[in-house]
Structure 1
């Protein structure tokens, strides 16, 4: 952990992080105690976002953390803190944050109460950053010749079994299935659901035109349905069939049809549009299927709270503390006036407010970008290396009154 003097130095020295920096290979992280390691660098936490959005994200974490038992423990690698300690530290930070603060002022406000720990990363010691967003799909609340692809709600025979009650080592693990007699068996896969296995259940929330767009909304976990009557309805994750997520991008790279260096969501969409006879085979390779529900407001993450564009991240819920404050250093794409794309540094405070089927291990982070063309660009193109730092509340020194 940084000493007090080192923490002061960390506010005046800027470490420029290269996405391709060599890192010492490490064994795969399998326990929360291994996910974060002592932080020994000096780094200036130069936040490139707006302080107003940071406050919004902070409030969402606070709302969730206040619902936790005060003594519930959150593991930050070698450190543990209670929900009460987290709430107290974040409330103090919230009181110091005001709109329009400079990056240095935000950094000073944060570092008054927090120490830094760094993600151990993946097996090569690095952290891979990707992005996700809230897509907008053309839809109808009734089936027509144009709108024929169903957006399904969760079926009532889908059983979710949290495994933590059976053994502590299964914390945040769960399985999904259905009953055959007295046996719990895997739920229907994507091909079986697409083939109409659930059609008699009347689970359709709405209908969309394009199965590829619906597939990518499943990957994102939420979206907006722009209805043919002029209205809009937001939908979010309700449940999963529990099948393991398998990347169709990795499949097409393996088959040699899209080079690895050219792979992106945009490249996938273009290839599927150009090869309609291959569409079902490729989509069905990912047996995972997501069911949706209507949302009363904005998109929500795994905490059941609204996620904030550019301030909410998804990590492996088995390894990193839910709702925790973090800092990310990586790059993100920006579309220029001439249509070209340039990569710019991304350095900001974020909150760990979501998770995902493809986000596994200490070397994966997904950044939420909101909705719109810029969000879609970032979500589709980001696959950058970088660094993930978590901020753990510093132990409070009891105040001893003079006699």
Structure 2
């Protein structure tokens, strides 16, 4: 065995062999509980392109450069500053070179970082889903064919970060509007569809299919295909602050779609077959997303572009934003005969986004980019797996 391989084995053993008796895994409700010592051995084999990882790290670094150097990032039992996290990521990025093997990448990461494992859900595992950048037909002017408005953020929408009131409300915020001197909830999806925002000049464009626009909201960004053949990208600008409610869960409860058959593809097929039910079902999710035009690819909650297969969305109240992580699960792949097979997915990723449905230590959304393969992964992924976060080693931080 070469000295490099021996060193890799030593690092893996030192990082992942649990000490003492394993503790019961209970759902985490605070950042200090969200990450723990790894419960058992886990192979860190990266199946992605190193250059894409380097790109994702660069986006986290760009965001970290806008933060106060002393801002604290909670990694479960550990806390590091933005300065320390930035230094560790910069060091790692400088060591990702052309031709780097998976084993070499793992070794270089473990020289700088040490792993902690996400507490997961009640079973200690994480549920992985996917999201992507859909493409829909739209027009910049309203016509009989293009009649569903795509709204920008309203001027009367008020966003209130709660962290300044108490640190326990970190990453939490409420949205509303003024009714006299009172802040009240903003209009629901049904109220907005009914015309509450009409006549304010908020329309960025007009969609051909309201169901297609709904799924752009769920994904958080998308591409508008205009009648002249050009494209415009849109991304999240704000929301009405109403809680996200899954229309998939509604249709499962009503017996319309069996739980085991539920997917984004199944949802769209059911809505297409039941057009008279569309408004009722879509309005069940009172959450509504407002958009803005983008000059680049899809943008995450850090305000930076997300990287295909290398960016994830987690609960911002529990996990450190911009941090390096590692996931181990499965992804769907379409076979030449049209069937779908499931293949292992294991890679280093960056925590660069969040979402209304991504709540708790047991939920992660993986960004898959654009195109049919991305739509397949986003629509079908609902696989269990494990998630690690990497905190700068104390020696590196010092």
- The separation in 2 between residues aligned to 1:398 and 1:347, in whole angstroms, is 27
Q: Deviations over 1:70-123 (max 9, x none)?
A: 111100000011111111111110111013311111111111111010000112
- The separation in 2 between residues aligned to 1:263 and 1:47, in whole angstroms, is 30
- The separation in 1 between residues aligned to 2:45 and 2:324, in whole angstroms, is 15
Answering whether residue 273 of structure 2 is matched by residue 274 of structure 1, we say yes
Task: Give the secondary-structure state (helix, strand or coil) at the position aligned to 1:199.
Answer: coil
Q: Which residues in structure 2 correspond to 1:167-178 (within 5 Å)?
A: 167-178=166-177
- The separation in 2 between residues aligned to 1:382 and 1:149, in whole angstroms, is 29
**Consecutive aligned runs of 4 or more in structure 1 exceeding 6 Å deviation:** none
Task: Give the secondary-structure state (helix, strand or coil) at the position aligned to 1:90.
Answer: helix
- Whether the 8 Å contact between 2:133 and 2:223 is mirrored in structure 1 is yes
The offset of 1:373, in angstroms, is 0.2
What is aligned with 1:99? 98
- Whether the 8 Å contact between 1:24 and 1:124 is mirrored in structure 2 is no
- The separation in 1 between residues aligned to 2:370 and 2:396, in whole angstroms, is 44
Q: Which residues in structure 2 correspond to 1:386-397 (within 5 Å)?
A: 386-396=385-395
Task: Give the secondary-structure state (helix, strand or coil) at the position aligned to 1:80.
Answer: strand
The offset of 1:40, in angstroms, is 4.6
Answering whether residue 342 of structure 2 is matched by residue 343 of structure 1, we say yes
Task: Give the secondary-structure state (helix, strand or coil) at the position aligned to 2:361.
Answer: coil
What is aligned with 1:68? 67
- The separation in 2 between residues aligned to 1:350 and 1:74, in whole angstroms, is 17
- The separation in 2 between residues aligned to 1:294 and 1:238, in whole angstroms, is 9
What is aligned with 1:215? 214
Task: Give the secondary-structure state (helix, strand or coil) at the position aligned to 1:27.
Answer: coil
Change (3 A) 1:338 1:328: same
- The separation in 1 between residues aligned to 2:236 and 2:118, in whole angstroms, is 27
What is aligned with 1:134? 133
The offset of 1:48, in angstroms, is 0.2
RMSD of the TM alignment (CA)? 1.8
What is aligned with 1:39? 38
- Whether the 8 Å contact between 1:133 and 1:379 is mirrored in structure 2 is yes
Q: Which residues in structure 2 correspond to 1:173-212 (within 5 Å)?
A: 173-212=172-211
What is aligned with 1:9? 10
What is aligned with 1:248? 247
- The separation in 2 between residues aligned to 1:162 and 1:313, in whole angstroms, is 23
Where do 5+ consecutive residues of structure 1 fail to align? 16-22
TM-score (norm 1): 0.93
What is aligned with 1:323? 322
- The separation in 1 between residues aligned to 2:379 and 2:80, in whole angstroms, is 36
Higher mean C-alpha displacement, 390-399 vs 294-303: 390-399
What is aligned with 1:334? 333
Where do 5+ consecutive residues of structure 2 fail to align? 1-5, 17-21
Change (3 A) 1:398 1:293: closer
- The separation in 1 between residues aligned to 2:397 and 2:122, in whole angstroms, is 40
Q: Deviations over 1:268-289 (max 9, x none)?
A: 0000000011010000000000
Q: Deviations over 1:245-290 (max 9, x none)?
A: 0000000000011000000000000000000110100000000000
- The separation in 1 between residues aligned to 2:110 and 2:59, in whole angstroms, is 20
- Whether the 8 Å contact between 2:56 and 2:311 is mirrored in structure 1 is yes
Higher mean C-alpha displacement, 376-385 vs 143-152: 143-152
What is aligned with 1:306? 305
Task: Give the secondary-structure state (helix, strand or coil) at the position aligned to 1:97.
Answer: coil
Change (3 A) 1:398 1:11: closer
Task: Give the secondary-structure state (helix, strand or coil) at the position aligned to 1:160.
Answer: strand
Answering whether residue 378 of structure 2 is matched by residue 364 of structure 1, we say no
Q: Deviations over 1:346-371 (max 9, x none)?
A: 00000000000000000000000000
- Whether the 8 Å contact between 1:9 and 1:42 is mirrored in structure 2 is no
Q: Which residues in structure 2 correspond to 1:88-127 (within 5 Å)?
A: 88-127=87-126
- The separation in 2 between residues aligned to 1:147 and 1:305, in whole angstroms, is 30
- The separation in 2 between residues aligned to 1:109 and 1:230, in whole angstroms, is 46
- Whether the 8 Å contact between 1:57 and 1:307 is mirrored in structure 2 is yes
TM-score (norm 2): 0.94
The offset of 1:398, in angstroms, is 9.6
- The separation in 2 between residues aligned to 1:269 and 1:228, in whole angstroms, is 23
